[in-house]
């Protein structure tokens, strides 16, 4: 399905235009869709990211009075240009102002659940902010969500027009891992509360006692700071304690957006977490040809076929140790699983496949006509 040429969508509510956003806008270019993206950062990093993209214009709104600048940029764009739809990534009260302005100009609103809904589920979002988010979710033309847990949260806030659209990626380069000696385990994610790297680390420290240093290695990427720096959380200090005596077999590194170097290093991706579907780093790892070991939870079987392209295990250290031991012992099967993982990402979770679904959503919301405003 091809969209009506010249669709113009304004994106509001994101802090930084990242490469994962670029994957989406780039894949939608062939569908005749262009974007004006209002970012809340002070620097010009987002503008540089989108510099060579013919269908993306970034407006930097950071600095003094960031929220007012963002609202003003949206108003100016609505007045001076043809805008078919507003796409809002909600986080705070400013989302309600974006929504109100869009409705004043009678434009349809697509709300994209941005991943902070777990804070609502945990009761950490309250008061005015929660009330404002509820109004935005309830009033949106459609709310698009990409994590299974979000459905109950959004429904609980009164959202009725929901659409599930999982994350997707541009397929990364395939990494040749054949012929490697040993097994390199990789945790590549932030330290959010619903993730439990300490489980995998504790299991690995037991594994390390069974194999020589060149046979099993672990790299954890996602700390806020190097050891000893201000900013290490209690959890990170716990990881340093767990890995004491690990020698060269364990690396604990700060987060970086340059993940390709780590994908090329790793052999097996680890995701001990209560939310695994669909983690961007997991998709990138599988797309590179790396099998994954993930925690058994809602949606885990939607991304991993146990024993075919990875493994699904429980939350105990013993189960993680067993799975990691099997990975070390079976390098040939590990490579086979990695090849299947890459095929799955290419077929089910590619940017191109997702772009078709996004295009269909935009077409429905705008009525696939050249008329302005909300379709009757």
Find the mean pLDDT for residues 324-349.
95
Q: Report the pLDDT value the prediction gives residue 73, as an integer from 0 to 100.
A: 96
- Round to whole Å and give the CA distance between 234 and 340: 38
DSSP string, 312-357: EE-SSHHHHHHHHHHHHH-HHHHHHHHHHHHHHHHHHSBHHHHHHH
Whether residue 371 is predicted with pLDDT greater than 80 in this model: the reply is no
Bridge partners of residue 143, in order along the sequence: 111, 162
Q: For 117-122, what is the mean pLDDT?
A: 82
Which domains, from first to last, does the chain contain? 7-168+351-366 (3.40.50.2000), 183-348 (3.40.50.2000)
Tokens of 239: 């990881």
pLDDT higher than 70, residue 121:
yes
Give the span between the Cα atoms of 39 and 83, in whole angstroms.
17
Asked if residue 315 has pLDDT above 60, the reply is: yes
Contact 73, 94 (CB under 8 A): no
pLDDT at 3: 41
Q: Who's near 236: CB < 8 A, 6+ residues apart?
A: 191, 223, 224, 225, 252
DSSP 3-state assignment of 136?
helix
- What the block records as the tokens of 294 is 């993930």
d(CA 320, CA 324): 6
CA distances from 375 to 108, 109, 141, 181, 371 (A): 8, 12, 11, 60, 8
What pLDDT score does 245 carry?
A: 66
Given this model, what pLDDT does residue 376 score?
34
Kindly report, residue by residue over 94-115, the tens digit of the pLDDT.
999 999 999 999 999 999 998 7
What pTM did the predictor assign?
0.78
Residue 232: cis peptide before it, omega within 30 degrees of 0: no
Burial (CB count <10 Å: 0-12, 13-18, 19+), residue 165: middle
- Summarize the confidence of residues 179-196 as an average pLDDT: 92
| CA dist 228 → 193, 197, 234, 237, 240 (Å) | 22, 19, 12, 9, 10
* Cα-based distances in Å from 73 to 55, 61, 95, 115, 226: 18, 8, 14, 25, 39
Average pLDDT over residues 211-216: 90
Please give the sequence-ordered ranges of beta strands (E in DSSP) within the chain, or none if there are none: 7-14, 33-39, 56-60, 85-88, 109-112, 142-145, 162-164, 183-188, 216-223, 250-254, 268-271, 292-295, 310-313
Work out the pLDDT band at 246, boundaries 50, 70, 90.
low
Residue 368 is predicted with a pLDDT of 61
Q: Rounded CA gap, 52 and 352, in Å?
A: 19
Strand order in the sheet with 109-112: 56-60, 33-39, 7-14, 85-88, 109-112, 142-145, 162-164
First vs last C-alpha separation in the chain: 22
Query: What's the confidence (pLDDT) of residue 5?
Result: 52
* Mean pLDDT, range 233-251, rounded to an integer: 83
Q: How confident is the model over 149-168, as a mean pLDDT?
A: 92
In whole angstroms, give the CA distance from residue 148 to residue 160. 15
The mean-pLDDT minimum among 118-132, 235-249, 278-292, 329-343 falls in: 235-249
Q: Give 2 or 294, the one with higher predicted confidence.
A: 294
């Amino acid at each position: 399905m091809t969209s009506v040429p010249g669709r113009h969508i304004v994106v509001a509510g994101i802090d930084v235009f990242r490469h994962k956003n670029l994957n989406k806008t780039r894949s939608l270019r062939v569908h005749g869709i262009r974007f004006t993206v209002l970012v809340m950062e002070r620097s010009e990093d987002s503008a540089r990211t989108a510099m060579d993209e013919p269908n993306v214009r970034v407006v930097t709104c950071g600095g003094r009075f960031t929220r007012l600048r963002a609202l003003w940029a949206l108003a100016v764009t609505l007045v001076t240009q043809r805008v078919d739809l507003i796409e809002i990534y909600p986080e705070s009260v400013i989302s309600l102002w974006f929504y109100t302005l869009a409705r004043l100009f009678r434009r349809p609103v697509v709300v994209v659940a941005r991943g902070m809904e777990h804070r609502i589920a945990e009761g950490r979002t309250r008061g005015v902010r929660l009330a404002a988010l509820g109004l935005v979710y309830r009033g949106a033309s459609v709310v698009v969500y990409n994590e299974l847990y979000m459905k109950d949260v959004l429904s609980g806030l009164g959202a009725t027009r929901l659409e599930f659209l999982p994350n997707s990626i541009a397929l990364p380069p395939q990494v040749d891992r054949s012929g490697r000696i040993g097994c390199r385990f990789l945790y590549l994610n932030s330290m959010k509360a619903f993730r439990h790297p300490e489980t995998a680390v504790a299991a690995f420290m037991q594994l390390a006692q069974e194999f020589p240093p060149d046979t099993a290695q672990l790299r954890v990427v996602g700390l806020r700071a190097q050891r000893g720096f201000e900013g290490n959380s209690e959890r990170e200090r716990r990881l340093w304690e767990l890995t004491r005596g690990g020698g060269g077999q364990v690396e604990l590194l700060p987060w970086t957006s340059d993940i390709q170097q780590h994908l090329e290093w790793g052999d097996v991706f680890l995701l001990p977490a209560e939310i695994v579907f669909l983690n961007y780093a997991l998709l990138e790892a599988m797309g590179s040809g790396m099998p994954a070991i993930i925690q058994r939870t809602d949606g885990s079987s939607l991304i991993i076929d146990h024993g075919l392209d990875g493994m699904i295990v429980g939350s105990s250290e013993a189960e993680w140790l067993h799975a990691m031991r099997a990975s070390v012992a079976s390098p040939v099967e590990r490579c086979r699983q990695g090849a299947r993982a890459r095929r799955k990402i290419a077929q089910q979770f590619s940017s191109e496949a997702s772009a078709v679904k996004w295009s269909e959503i935009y077409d429905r919301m705008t009525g696939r006509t050249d008329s302005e405003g909300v379709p009757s």
